């Protein structure tokens, strides 16, 4: 993936390798890395064969939000599943939910947004099947929230760290939605853009 040289329009990372120019969609690439990380964590089963919960980090100050009756009901019905996903969400008052813990991997993101989107996904599934069948979908949603957003300024060091993570991550060529996460523009292609050597 080469060496990062710049960030373009808050969306792309440009890097140079021995073939030419590498262009990375930073959100898509990071989302894929976070997704694979979550999937690996959750697939480590405990010795008794039960699902291993995602490593979770308590919030110093719980993040509270005004919740709909559906959100409150879902949070109460899916306590165990939420714990498996590294989330602790409990009623704070009849119309307020408190996010008390989030997955360590996603600790940088917005806890309320994460909680709301996971509750929305859980509401669509039956409790008993949710982990097995909807796990990857839910992890995908969580990864999207944990991934770096467009317009976040990255330092060269952060960009290079992302490139190294991509190299170390399986299937990092595609995002969770099947779109490419990076493209190579070879020197030959660049030369032909400028009609060089003709």
Tokens describing residue 198:
């003709």
Cα–Cα–Cα angle for 14, 198, 196, nearest 5°? 25
Nearest approach, Cβ of 11 to Zn ion (angstroms)? Answer: 12
Residues that bind Zn ion (CB under 5 A): 31, 144
- Give 25 or 31: the residue with its C-beta nearer to Zn ion: 31
Residues 6+ apart with CB under 8 A from 36: 169, 170, 171, 172
Nearest approach, Cβ of 106 to Zn ion (angstroms)? Answer: 13
- Give 31 or 88: the residue with its C-beta nearer to Zn ion: 31
Using an 8 Å Cβ cutoff, are 195 and 61 in contact? no
Tokens describing residue 171:
């299937």
Helix (H) or strand (E) holding 25: strand 20-25
- Give 83 or 113: the residue with its C-beta nearer to Zn ion: 113
- Give 21 or 120: the residue with its C-beta nearer to Zn ion: 120
Nearest approach, Cβ of 161 to Zn ion (angstroms)? Answer: 19
Nearest approach, Cβ of 28 to Zn ion (angstroms)? Answer: 7
Tokens describing residue 28:
């898509």
Nearest approach, Cβ of 1 to Zn ion (angstroms)? Answer: 20
Q: How many residues does the chain have?
A: 198
- Give 51 or 112: the residue with its C-beta nearer to Zn ion: 112
97: β partners = 65, 91
- Position with the least CB separation from Zn ion: 144
Tokens describing residue 65:
């939000």
């Amino acid at each position: 993936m080469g060496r990062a040289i710049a960030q373009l329009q808050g969306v792309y990372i440009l890097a140079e390798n021995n073939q030419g120019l590498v262009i990375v969609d930073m959100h898509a690439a990071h989302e894929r890395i976070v997704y694979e990380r979550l999937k690996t964590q959750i697939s480590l089963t405990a010795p008794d064969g039960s699902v291993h919960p995602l490593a979770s980090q308590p919030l110093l100050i719980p993040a509270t939000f005004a919740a709909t009756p559906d959100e409150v009901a879902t949070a109460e019905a899916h306590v165990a599943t939420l714990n498996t996903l590294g989330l602790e969400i409990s009623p704070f008052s009849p119309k307020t939910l408190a996010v008390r813990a989030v997955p360590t991997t996603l600790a940088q993101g917005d806890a309320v947004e994460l909680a709301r989107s996971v509750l929305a996904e859980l509401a669509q599934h039956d409790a008993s099947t949710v982990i097995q069948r909807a796990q990857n979908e839910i992890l995908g949603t969580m990864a999207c929230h944990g991934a770096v957003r467009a317009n976040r300024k990255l330092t060269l060091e952060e960009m290079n760290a992302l490139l190294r993570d991509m190299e170390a991550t399986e299937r990092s060529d595609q995002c969770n939605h099947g779109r490419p996460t990076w493209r190579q523009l070879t020197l030959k292609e660049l030369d032909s853009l400028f009609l060089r050597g003709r």
